[in-house]
Amino acid sequence: MPLQLAFSIVLLVRGHNEPGGGFIGGLVAACGIALHGIAFGIPAARRLLRVPPPMLIGTGLLIAALSGLPGLFQGQPFLTGLWGGSVPTLLAGQLKFGTPLLFDVGVYLVVAGIAVHLIFTMAEDQ
Amino acid sequence: MLTVLITIFVLAAAAPMLHRLLRGATGWALALPVVAVTAWFATLVPAVSGGEVILESRPWVPALGLDLAFRVDGWSLLFLLLIAGIGALILIYAGGYLHGHRHEGRFFGFLLLFMGSMLGLVAADNLIVMFIFWELTSFSSYLLIGFNHEETKSRAAALQALLVTGGGGLALLAGFILIGQVGGTFSFSALLENADVLRHHALYLPILLLVLAGAFTKSAQVPFHFWLPGAMAAPTPVSAYLHSATMVKAGVFLLGRFNPLLGGTDVWHTVVTGVGAATMLTGALLALPQTDLKRLLAYSTVSGLGTLTLLLGIGTTLATKAAAVFLIVHSLYKGALFMVAGAVDHETGTRDVRSLGGLFKVMPITALAAGAAALSMSGFPPLLGFISKELLYEAKLAAPSGAMLITAAGVGANILMVAVAIIVGFRPFHGARQLPAKPMHEPPLALWLGPAVLAALALVAGLFPSLVDRPLVSAAVSAIRAKETTVELKLWHGLNLVLLLSVVTVLAGVFVYFLRQRCRALAARLAPVVRFGPERGYELGLRALTAVAAGQTRLLQHGYLRGYVLTVLGVATVLAAFALVRFGPATLWIGFEDVRIHEVAIGVLVLAAALVAANARSRLAAVVALGVVGYSVALIYGLYGAPDLAVTQILVETLTLVLFVLVVVHLPQFSTLSSPRRRRWDAAFAGVAGLVITLLVLKALHVESGERVSQYFAENALRAQGRNVVNVILVDFRALDTLGEIAVLSVAALGVFALLKLRPGARKEDR
């Protein structure tokens, strides 16, 4: 399960150059948590997550929306991508920081939040 | 201007938190920045009264001709000063009135949100921006009227106000769009340069009627007047602010704003004057029998708004002048009287005029403020109200058509207003003490400061009219008439017909006051007739709307999955067939020379799995078979160079499986519900759908559609610092789309959650 979460983050950050990205990463993370839920029960999975899933959805949306602002402040249209420096990483190659990455983090959180939220709600509904 | 608006909206968002910090002092603290804003507006007065128009613009969505453009001329500056100035007093007042209320902080937030929207509305130059602020005022007033959201009455009143003004807002939007089409721009300033274009266009009448519909609903003109008295369910600070000085005047503002573009025609004169006169009389007649202080004031506000509309309908320089002065007068005295009504209510616990009396001894300052405001309302010298009433009569007498009729209506309405003023401003404070002798005292400073300041302003402006005429009124009139006009106001006009009318009005008003009991009795007898008024129409309309919605939902959302699938597939098939017919037949033979063995294997696998799924005798088998189909399709994606798609497909399949496993235990026994005949039908239908889609795919292989989009994306992806084209498109090129999609997704998830949680039976365990 930790492996799956780690893998989801790798997918997220390498998304810009290799197959991956926020959507896929979020789904992988959700699968991981769902697996945990099936194995140890939903309460355990909830504890593992620490925050309620709707929180993830809201935070993700907020991050995605905020990532559009830096471009706006530089006099460019909303959501214009701005890039900063980059660091080399082991699995994801050269990791560049920038607002699109931030945006992708938002997508990741929203997707993971929604999937987990649905699974939890359905699983508890018995 | 933009800075001011942002400041106010930020304050609005921060108000609940500030309140937690500042407690009782929040009202005063929030009033400070608003006073500063008012002062800044005041510094603009010399320039604007000198004929200058302050323009400010920055691009927002240039592609749509949408700019955050603001225009401060005399007319908007007058409103800006009223909104911000009275707003500061109201904030202080609300701090006193709602002291210790559970949601006081939230209330300040709503109030500031409204203030910001209102300021934006009157300062906007771009019509679309104006519309957005217009809707924001409707929206924030909904929150304010429904502030006591636990009472059914408040909620109903809030909804009524929202539906009526919101409906008008939609009409206004349509009108603005037509104006944009005809005039070629949404900029008011630019439209003003070719002012005659609209008047001479074939679409003039629809435009005019749509804009008027917006103005009339907002300003509670007959037959939309009923929402305003209903809105008295709001806390008093709201009524004092929204329903006297600001929101309801937005319609009047609109009329004044569009006078240079749409005014001056016969239709304008007839409709605006007629509706204004009808509203003026209706409001005055309905006001008199009321016994609740706030409802009295509400109906008299309707009458006052009618007067303003009437004057703008007449449209002469004199009438415009009278409108601008009456606007100031009305805001001052009506705001003051509403606040007084709230203060009395706060101290005595009742607003019923029949059980109030002799309060002067307990609350002298409030009583004095009320008296001064009431004098101004009845047009007594030396208050500003007197000057205003003189001007009113002068303007009505000089109206180009129907002068006698208009004047008679005006005198009649004003007589009734004098009576109302006495009931509201004097009755509760004089005469015998009628309330049980419970300890009562002067309300706190926060509660009497507002009315006192407004009443004092009415007095000072009446004594020294030069304080308002040149700096404020001249510029406002110039802006409405779109030409330079100088206004000079005098307290004393000499002995003439107008003065005579004023005297008659006051005397007759006092006379009517003594007849008020009889009026109430008469009104009680007429009540069954009044029930069939426009409010009844609103109720019927609302009921019909819900009935239609329910019927439509039953028709479309019937709850049969089979029906949904049939509808979706059917529509898709018909559309695809249509496309095929338009583009000609597809090439059927594509050749199987370069097909590799594993591709054939996957194809066979998909087909077999689909057949198994369709004939499965157990649910689990069907689910697993469908899963096989999904994974095989993912394999195809992977083989043909779409790894992102393949991964996504696999993940979605996995999650679907997980969800299915979770719910499968709850589902009823697997059973075949449809008859064999029906199943044959389904099979035929599925066959046709599959055939059409196959043909479409074959066709798509051979359609050449100009330049390939993928080329562009592939070339530009590296520029956007990424090599994964799919992802670059998602998070950079089309990021706004993605943002919209995840927002929709979130809302959908919340909806699913609500559906799951709110089922009957599921509720108990939730608690």
Radius of gyration of chain B (CA): 33
Q: How close B643 comes to chain A (CA, Å)?
A: 6
B663 touches chain A (CB under 8 A): yes
Q: Give pLDDT, residue B311.
A: 92
Q: Which residue of B has its CA nearest to A96?
A: B721
A29 touches chain B (CB under 8 A): no
Q: Is the ipTM of this complex over 0.85?
A: no
Q: What is the dihedral of CA B383, B386, B391, B397, to 10 degrees?
A: 180
Instruction: Give me the numbers of helices (H) and strands (E) for chain B, helices first please.
Output: 32, 2
Kindly report the number of other CB atoms within 10 A of residue A73's CB atom. 8
Q: How close B1 comes to chain A (CA, Å)?
A: 18
* Cβ–Cβ < 8 Å for A110, A60: yes
- Hey, are the CB atoms on A17 and B723 less than 8 Å from each other? yes
Identity of the residue numbered B603: G
- Predicted confidence (pLDDT) per residue in B178-207, tens digit: 999 888 888 898 888 888 888 888 889 999
Chain B CB contacts of A70 under 8 Å are none
Q: In the predicted model, what is the mean pLDDT of residues B409-418?
A: 90
Angle, in degrees to the nearest 10, between helices B403-425 and B384-397? 160
Q: How confident is the model at residue B65 (pLDDT cuts 50, 70, 90)?
A: confident
- Predicted confidence (pLDDT) per residue in B268-278, tens digit: 999 999 999 99
Give B667's DSSP letter: S
Place of tokens 């208050």: B383
Average pLDDT for chain B? 84
Which of these ranges, A42-56, B226-240, B293-307, B748-762, has the smallest mean pLDDT? B748-762
Please tell me the distance from the alpha carbon of residue B102 to that of residue B67, in angstroms, as a whole number: 40
Tokens encoding B189: 């300033």
Q: How confident is the model at residue B280 (pLDDT cuts 50, 70, 90)?
A: very high
- Hey, are the CB atoms on A122 and B727 less than 8 Å from each other? no
Sign of CA dihedral B319, B321, B324, B326: negative
Q: How close A61 comes to chain B (CA, Å)?
A: 7
- Predicted confidence (pLDDT) per residue in B733-760, tens digit: 667 777 888 888 888 888 887 877 776 5
Q: In the predicted model, what is the mean pLDDT of residues A13-33?
A: 75
Of A27, A58, A96, nearest to B651 by CB-CB distance is A27
Q: Give pLDDT, residue B721.
A: 57
Q: How confident is the model at residue B647 (pLDDT cuts 50, 70, 90)?
A: confident
Which of these ranges, B61-70, B238-247, B529-538, B635-644, has the smallest mean pLDDT? B529-538
Average pLDDT for chain A? 74
Tokens encoding B568: 């979706």
Backbone angles phi, psi at B100, to 5 degrees: 80, 5
Mean pLDDT comparison of A57-71, B273-287, B554-568, highest-scoring range: B273-287
* Cβ–Cβ < 8 Å for B410, B307: yes
Q: How close A80 comes to chain B (CA, Å)?
A: 7
Q: What is the DSSP string of B86-134?
A: HHHHHHHHHHHHTTT-TTHHHHHHHHHHHHHHHHHHHHB-BHHHHHHHH
Angle, in degrees to the nearest 10, between helices B445-463 and B317-348? 150
Q: How confident is the model at residue B345 (pLDDT cuts 50, 70, 90)?
A: confident
Chain A CB contacts of B746 under 8 Å are 57-58, 60-61, 110, 113-114
- pLDDT above 70 (res B267): yes
pLDDT > 90 fraction of chain B, expressed in percent and rounded: 22
Kindly report the number of other CB atoms within 10 A of residue A94's CB atom. 11
- Hey, are the CB atoms on B735 and A16 less than 8 Å from each other? no
How long, in residues, is chain B?
Answer: 767
Q: What is the 3-state secondary structure (H, E, C) of A18-41?
A: CCCCHHHHHHHHHHHHHHHHHHHC
Which of these ranges, A85-99, B588-602, B730-744, has the smallest mean pLDDT? A85-99
- pLDDT above 90 (res B252): yes
Please tell me the distance from the alpha carbon of residue B388 to that of residue B319, in angstroms, as a whole number: 11
Identity of the residue numbered B166: G
- pLDDT above 50 (res B418): yes
- Hey, are the CB atoms on B727 and A21 less than 8 Å from each other? yes
Q: Give pLDDT, residue A126.
A: 55
Backbone angles phi, psi at B667, to 5 degrees: -75, 150
Q: In the predicted model, what is the mean pLDDT of residues A6-11?
A: 75
Backbone angles phi, psi at B482, to 5 degrees: 60, 30
* Cβ–Cβ < 8 Å for B155, B147: no
- Smallest Cα–Cα separation from B330: which of B381, B282, B379? B379
Place of tokens 């409405």: B480
Which of these ranges, B14-23, B71-80, B315-324, B326-335, has the smallest mean pLDDT? B14-23
Mean pLDDT comparison of A42-46, B314-318, B712-716, highest-scoring range: B314-318
Please tell me the distance from the alpha carbon of residue B734 to that of residue B712, in angstroms, as a whole number: 13
Q: What is the dihedral of CA B322, B323, B325, B327, to 10 degrees?
A: 160
- Predicted confidence (pLDDT) per residue in B290-333, tens digit: 888 898 999 999 999 999 999 999 888 889 999 999 999 999 99
Output A35 or B326, whichever has higher pLDDT: B326
Q: How confident is the model at residue B765 (pLDDT cuts 50, 70, 90)?
A: very low
Q: Give pLDDT, residue B763.
A: 46
Sorted by sequence, the CB contacts under 8 Å of residue B381 that are 6+ apart come out as B462, B491
- Hey, are the CB atoms on B722 and A117 less than 8 Å from each other? no
Please tell me the distance from the alpha carbon of residue B717 to that of residue B729, in angstroms, as a whole number: 8
Please tell me the distance from the alpha carbon of residue B348 to that of residue B248, in angstroms, as a whole number: 28
* Cβ–Cβ < 8 Å for B224, B278: no
User: How wide is the angle at C-alpha A41 spanned by C-alphas A35 and A46, nearest 5°?
Assistant: 80
- Smallest Cα–Cα separation from B375: which of B413, B420, B324? B420
- Predicted confidence (pLDDT) per residue in B95-145, tens digit: 888 888 888 888 999 999 999 999 999 999 999 999 999 999 999 999 999
β-sheet bridge partners, residue A88: A94
Radius of gyration of chain A (CA): 16
β-sheet bridge partners, residue A95: A87
Q: Which residue of A has its CA nearest to B751?
A: A118
Q: How confident is the model at residue B84 (pLDDT cuts 50, 70, 90)?
A: very high
Kindly report the number of other CB atoms within 10 A of residue B381's CB atom. 17
- pLDDT above 80 (res B559): no
Of B652, B721, B736, nearest to A16 by CB-CB distance is B721
Q: In the predicted model, what is the mean pLDDT of residues A2-21?
A: 71
Mean pLDDT comparison of B319-323, B615-619, B725-729, highest-scoring range: B319-323
pLDDT > 70 fraction of chain B, expressed in percent and rounded: 90
Give the H/E segment covering residue B59. strand B54-61
Identity of the residue numbered B514: F
Q: How confident is the model at residue B764 (pLDDT cuts 50, 70, 90)?
A: very low
Place of tokens 């997918």: A11
Tokens encoding B193: 């340069």
Of A83, A117, A122, nearest to B721 by CB-CB distance is A83
Angle, in degrees to the nearest 10, between helices B735-757 and A53-66? 160
Q: In the predicted model, what is the mean pLDDT of residues B563-591?
A: 78
β-sheet bridge partners, residue A98: A83
Please tell me the distance from the alpha carbon of residue A11 to that of residue A20, in angstroms, as a whole number: 5
- Hey, are the CB atoms on A81 and B735 less than 8 Å from each other? yes
3-state SS assignment for residue B641: coil
